[in-house]
């Protein structure tokens, strides 16, 4: 029986507790939050043994095997470091850390201690994402992906989170290096990082505040981002984050030398994009029929999952948690290779570094104005260099639990 603990008892902790109690062979032995009331209310709503106000106390008394870190991102590194040093396996919510250096240090520490790490990129384990991965691994695209496009829409009118951020000048998101973007975009960047194969990437980023934010006098937040990622002579990728684009989509497209795939996360739809064309006027009639057939297939597949009670909103998180626990119990590979976690962090570092120079008044995040005195070229690229520590040996595609 795996003993599990949760550190940080905010909104996302509820989702973790709900998933963990549906996973066989584990129990939540403790939760921790520096606000005692937050820890107590989580304990009362779920079958949890005890609540704590300090991480050290939790680790000493509850002695968990696995710790889920669901605190604000600024504390991820220090809490994960303490847990790893005590021999715990650690699941860290997104964004994994504040920067790639912190991510690298956690991976090195985990390997030194014989512990395992994973990041909360649960969207990559939804039903539709796993179907897409299976097709890619089967060779449906051809060889190495040629191009990818990742779209991540965000609603600033969401009363549960965005309005609280806009209405609170002291909100913790405003203290992140990338502010709103830092807390959100790792889901979309991680989709791209999964299929990048080289150790060197050029990143070109351009960000700005939407007319909506300018209109309400918001001076801190960047809510529009466009990124191009290039591997030397191989794969390219575009990433789009937008609060104003409608419909507000969460899509991913990947193209190979033979065919392509389109993933619609919001509606759990996967479409095969046929590379070859039909002859003459057949190109205008047969493809619509093939797309209609695929849409019906997606409908029936989703209906079967719903009737089987396996179509939860958090199904991706459940699969990721189960896979992570399986890697701990059975010695299987971690569900997300460390190379992908580190590459996601490096791409985000490159994006925020460029945005600080483009928009020094909006993305200072604790850095002095003197550090930002020079103005970089608006679309100068940032080269990502590979790690020299050798911790990226776990390369390859995502591992599915058996």
Q: pLDDT by residue for the chain (402 residues), tens digit each?
A: 999 999 999 999 999 999 999 999 999 999 999 999 999 999 999 989 899 999 999 999 999 999 999 999 999 999 999 999 999 999 999 999 999 999 999 999 999 999 999 999 999 999 999 999 999 999 999 988 999 999 999 998 776 677 788 888 889 999 999 999 999 999 999 999 999 998 789 999 999 999 999 999 988 899 999 999 999 878 999 999 999 999 999 999 999 999 999 999 999 999 999 999 999 999 999 999 999 999 999 999 999 999 998 888 889 999 999 999 999 999 999 999 999 999 999 999 999 999 998 887 676 544 433 333 223 334 456 777 666 544 444 433 444 443
Residue ranges matching CATH 3.40.50.720 in the chain: 2-122
Q: State the pLDDT at residue 234.
A: 86
Contacts of 140 (CB under 8 A, 6+ apart): 256, 258, 259, 261, 272
**Cα torsion angle, 294, 152, 275, 281, sign:** positive
Helical axes 55-62 vs 76-85, angle rounded to 10°: 30
Domain 2-122 coded CATH 3.40.50.720: yes
Q: In what order do the strands lie in the sheet with 89-92?
A: 51-52, 26-32, 2-7, 66-69, 89-92, 117-119
pLDDT score recorded for residue 386: 67
Q: Between 3.30.360.10, 1.10.10.10, 3.30.70.1520, 3.90.1150.10, what CATH number should domain 124-330+335-394 receive?
A: 3.30.360.10
Distance separating alpha carbons of residues 23 and 69, to the nearest angstrom: 18
Q: Map the chain to HEC letters.
A: CEEEEEECCCHHHHHHHHHHCCCCCEEEEEEECCCHHHHHHHHHHCCCCCEECCHHHHHHHHCCCEEEECCCHHHHHHHHHHHHHCCCEEEECCCCCCCHHHHHHHHHHHHHHCCCEEECCHHHHCHHHHHHHHHHHCCCCCCCCCEEEEEEECCCCCCCCHHHHHHCCCCHHHHCCCHHHHHHCHHHHHHHHHCCCCCCEEEEEEEECCHHHHHCCCCCCCCEEEEEEEECCCCEEEEEEECCCCCCCEEEEEECCCCEEEEECCCCEEEEECCCCCCCCHHHHHHHHHHHHHHHHHHHHHHHHHHCCCCCCCHHHHHHHHHHHHHHHHCCCCCCCHHHHHHHHHHHHHHHHHHHHHCCCCCCCCCCHHHHCCCCCCCCCEEECCCCCCHHHCCCCCCCCC
The predicted structure's pLDDT at residue 14: 95
- Residue 381: what pLDDT? 64
Return the residue matching tokens 């684009």: 245
- Residue range(s) in the chain whose domain bears CATH number 3.30.360.10: 124-330+335-394
* pLDDT value for 400: 40
pLDDT at 387: 60
Q: Over the Cα atoms of the chain, what is R_g?
A: 22
């Amino acid at each position: 029986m795996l003993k599990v603990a949760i550190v940080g008892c905010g909104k996302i902790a509820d989702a973790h507790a709900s998933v963990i109690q549906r996973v066989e062979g584990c129990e939540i032995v403790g939760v921790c939050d520096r606000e005692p009331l937050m820890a107590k209310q989580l304990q009362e709503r779920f079958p949890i043994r005890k609540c704590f106000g300090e991480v050290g106390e939790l680790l000493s008394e509850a002695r968990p095997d696995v710790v889920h870190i669901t605190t604000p991102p600024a504390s991820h590194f220090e809490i994960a470091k303490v847990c790893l040093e005590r021999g715990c396996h650690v699941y860290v919510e997104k964004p994994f850390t504040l920067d790639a250096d912190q991510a690298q240090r956690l991976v090195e520490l985990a390997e030194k201690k014989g512990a395992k790490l994973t990041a909360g990129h649960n969207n990559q384990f939804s039903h539709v994402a796993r179907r897409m991965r299976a097709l890619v691994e089967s060779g449906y695209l051809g060889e190495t992906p040629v191009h990818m496009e990742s779209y991540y829409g965000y609603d600033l009118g969401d009363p549960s989170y965005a309005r609280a951020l806009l209405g609170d000048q002291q909100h913790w998101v405003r203290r992140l290096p990338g502010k709103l973007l830092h807390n959100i975009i790792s889901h979309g960047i991680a989709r791209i990082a999964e299929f990048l194969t080289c150790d060197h990437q050029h990143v070109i980023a351009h960000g700005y505040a939407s007319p909506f934010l300018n209109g309400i006098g918001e001076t801190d937040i960047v809510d529009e981002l466009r990124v191009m990622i290039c591997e030397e002579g191989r794969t390219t990728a575009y990433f789009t984050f937008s609060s104003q684009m409608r419909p507000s989509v969460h899509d991913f497209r990947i193209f190979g030398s033979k065919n392509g795939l389109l993933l619609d996360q919001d509606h759990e739809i996967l479409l095969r994009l046929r590379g070859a064309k039909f002859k003459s006027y057949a190109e205008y009639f047969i493809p619509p029929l093939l797309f209609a057939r695929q849409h019906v297939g997606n409908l029936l597949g989703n209906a079967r999952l719903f009737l089987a009670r396996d179509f939860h909103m958090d199904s991706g998180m459940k699969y990721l948690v189960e896979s992570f626990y399986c890697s701990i119990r059975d010695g299987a590979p971690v569900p997300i290779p460390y190379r992908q976690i580190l590459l996601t962090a490096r791409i985000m570092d490159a994006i925020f570094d460029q945005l600080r120079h483009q928009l020094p008044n909006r993305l200072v995040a604790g850095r002095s104005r003197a550090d930002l005195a020079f103005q970089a070229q608006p679309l100068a690229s940032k080269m990502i260099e590979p790690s020299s520590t050798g911790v990226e040996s776990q390369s390859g595609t995502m591992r599915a639990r058996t």
